[in-house]
Structure formats: structure tokens, C-alpha cells
Chain A
Amino acid sequence: MSFDPHIITDHLDDIGNGFLVTLGTWSSGVVLGLLLGLVIALAQVFGNNFVRAPLRVFIEIIRSTPFLVQLFLLYYGGPSFGLEMDPIPAGILGLAVYGSVYFAEIFRGGFESIPRGQLEAADCLGIGRLRCIVRIQLPQMAVIILPALVNLVTVLCKETAVLSIITIPELTMVLTGIGSQTFAFVETLLALCIGYLILVEACSRLGMLLETRVGRFMQRQPQ
């Protein structure tokens, strides 16, 4: 079995594009997912029962079904609902919806971890609901939920590999494609593994950096 690193260098352009697609879908999915997740979390915490019940059903379904199945429904089943999408937008939307449910759970946990007493004090002092959320709850939550957020973002990075199945030309699809063409399975699969390990490690390093940064900011507040 021969090992030929030139396979990689020869196709650097394609691999680079695949990498960019991975990064693009990942970041778009995360941003959209964060927003959706925040909306869901707020709806759960502050919404009325008409909103909460169907939301609960939606969340359970998303959490119980595989990401791949959700992608299939969106991409192949979408047209039946009039939702005709290209692979990449479908992938981003799928990733966002999948992630939003878990983001929402993290946000909700964060909200509930702020002691009730602080909110009561704010209420007594006449501080309005919205102001309370923005000035008191969110800043404190940020430090507490950051590790969970970083972890979820890392998970979503790995899930982008699944996007290859609905023909999105991200890293996995590109490299396995090269592998089948040139029969250089060793080099391509190895490169794929290393690629993801780098992404995941970078993500967690960044996360730790953010945690110390935000934490430092929090420490200046009086206890």
C-alpha cells in the first residue's frame, strides 16, 4: 500500500472549496440556530400555553429523530410543501432547526439558573421585564451557558459531515469523492480525519478563550 501525499496537494483547490463550504454552512447554521433557539427559549419561558404545547411536540420530534431524517424531509419532502430548495440552503436550514432545539434547552437552563430572588428584587425596584432580561439575566447566563454552547457548536461542526449525503459539496463529500476517483483512500480519509480534528480542537480552544474573556468581565461585577 503506497502513501502519496501528492494526492492531497494536487486537489488543494477542491479541498479548499469543500473546507469553505463546511465553514460556511456551519457558521450560518449556528447563527440561525442560535436565533431560533433564543426565540424558542423565550417562548417557553414567557409564552402562554397555546404556544408552549405545540412547541413541546415540535421539540420532542426534533430531539427524537436523527438529523439525517430531518434533512431528508426538508430536502426531498420540501417540494411537496412548496419548499423548493438548493442543497446548501436546505442544509443550513436543517442544521439550524436541529441545533435550535438544543440551543433553546441551553438558554432555558441558563434562565432558570438565575436565582428567583434577583428577579423579585428587580421587580420590587420597578425594573421592567425586558430590561430585567437584558441587564440582569442575559449577562449572568452568558458565563454559565458558554461551555454548553461551545460543546453544541462543536457537535454541529461534526454534523456538517452528514450534509454530504444530500449532495452538499462540503469537506467530507469532496475528499471521499477524490478518494473514490483516485483510489487513494488512505490519504483522503486520513486528511478528512485530521481536518475535523483540527476544526474541533480550534473550536474548543476558542471556546476556552471566550470563557476566560467573558468570565473576566463578569468578575468585575460586585458579588
Chain B
Amino acid sequence: MFDWPLLQQNFPLLLGALLTTVEVSAASLFIGFFIGIGVAAMRLSPTPLLRRLGGAYIFVFRGIPLLVQLLFIYYFLPRAGLPNMSPMTAAIISLALCCAAYIAEILRGGFLAIPGGQLEAAGLLGLNARQMLVRIRVPQAVRLTLPGLINEMILLIKASSLVSVVGLADLTRTAQNLAASDYMFVQDYLLLAGFYCLINIPLAYAGSRLEKRLKGRGA
């Protein structure tokens, strides 16, 4: 059942594709993080309109399946006037917008966990809202929610498998192409699964270790 020479041949090809997957995921997480901060801040804003906008963002981007979001951005936007975008761009935009919604909720929990007294002291010392957000709230929210953010990274890497649908040469697409030509479905897809495990299992381990450490230290 296993064709060793073929395996050795496919391995480096998938290794290259792994790079693409990680690149796309990391870029999306990075962009999504900053969008997420904005949405979380909106959700916690004293202005009702901002709160509702933030809530609407989360409702839309968590309610619609990622696949549909991806198709929307790749197929619809170019026809709505936006210039034709490469699969890579569409993928990153779509993943970023989607994970921003989840990150916003994670960070919101972090923001709410910061003792109010610290912000009172900051306000009294003269820091304005932007300074408080950047210097005090975000650093602490990230520290408090790091395990959740790592989990989000894992989810993002798994979700990135969908970009294969718009033709981006990520892990999944590459494996599909290989399987289409050599018909060794089990072998190729098991190898594919193995690669995902290679990234995600260490990440999950790191996340749970971090969680245990944070619980012990009391942040």
C-alpha cells in the first residue's frame, strides 16, 4: 500500500507548500489581530452605535462559513469594482477578517479581566483613551488571553486548508494535485494530515503549557 520512493518524492514538495500555509496563516493572524483589537474596543465603547457596529461585525464574520466568505471575496469583490486580486491576497484578506471576529471576542474577555482600578489610576495621571488602550489594556489583555490566541492560531492553520478552493498552492492544494496525478490517495492525504499535525500538535502543547503556567502564577 505504501510507495516509499513516491513518498520521498512528495515530501519536499509538501514541505514547500507548508511554507505557503504558514505564511498565509501568520499574515492573516497578524492583520486579524489588529482588526480584532479595533472590533473589541468598539464592543466595549461607551458609544452605543460603536457597540452595535462591533456586534454586527462579529455576528456576520462568525455566522457565515469561512468557505462562503472566501468565495465572496475572491469571486464577488472583483466584479464589484475592486481590481482583480491574486488568490493569495483574497485568502489573506478573508482569513484576516474572519479570525478578527474570534480574536475580538477573546481579547474582549481579556480587556474585561483587567481590574478597573488600573484604568482609574491611568486616567487620573492624565493618560487618554488611546494611550490607555495601547500601553495598558492591550499588553495585559494579550498576556491574559495568550492560550486562547494560540488556540486561534491553530484554528486558523486548519481553516487555511480552504484556500485550496481558490487555487492557492497551500498544503491541501498541493496534496490534491499530487493525489490527482499519482492516485495514491491514502498515502498522499495521510502525509498531508501528518504535516498539519507537525505544526499544530506542538502549538497545542505550547498553549496548554502556557495555560498551566498562567494559572499557577495568577498572572
Contact = CB atoms under 8 A, between A and B. Distances in A.
A72 B185 contact: yes
A161 B69 CA distance: 11
Nearest to B158: A66
A61 B193 contact: yes
B67 A161 contact: yes
B68 A60 contact: no
Contact of B64 (A63, A77, A162, A193): A193
Contacts of B65: 158-162, 172, 196
Contact of A196 (B1, B68, B186): B68
A162 B159 CA distance: 11
Nearest to B190: A73
A197 B197 CA distance: 32
Q: Chain B contact residues (Cβ within 8 angstroms of A): what range?
A: 35 or more
A159 B155 CA distance: 13
Interface stretch (B10-18, B72-80, B86-94, B116-124): B72-80
A196 B63 CA distance: 7
B1 A66 contact: no
Contacts of B159: 66
Nearest to B183: A76
B31 interface: no
Residue among B63, B154, B165, B200 having the largest count of chain A Cβ atoms under 10 Å: B63
Contact of A66 (B68, B190, B196): B196
A1 to B, nearest CB: 7
A186 B76 contact: yes
B69 to A, nearest CB: 8
A164 B185 CA distance: 19
Interface in A151-166: 158-162, 164-165
B189 A73 contact: yes
The SS class assigned to the B binding surface is helix
Interface string A180-214: 00000110010011001100110000000000000
B144 interface: no
Q: Chain A contact residues (Cβ within 8 angstroms of B): what range?
A: 35 or more
A149 to B, nearest CB: 17
Contacts of B154: 64
Interface in B127-183: 154, 158-162, 164-165, 172, 175-176, 179
Interface string B188-213: 01101100110011001000000000
Contact of B204 (A64, A67, A81, A172): A64
A61 to B, nearest CB: 6
Nearest to A74: B189
Interface of A: 1, 60-61, 63-70, 72-73, 76-77, 79-81, 158-162, 164-165, 172, 176, 179, 185-186, 189, 192-193, 196-197, 200-201
The 6 closest A-B pairs by CB, nearest first: A66-B161, A161-B65, A64-B200, A158-B65, A77-B186, A66-B158
27 contacts: A1-B80, A60-B197, A61-B193, A64-B204, A65-B193, A65-B200, A66-B161, A68-B161, A68-B164, A69-B172, A69-B189, A69-B196, A72-B179, A72-B192, A73-B186, A73-B193, A76-B185, A77-B190, A158-B63, A159-B65, A160-B65, A165-B67, A165-B165, A185-B79, A186-B80, A189-B68, A189-B72
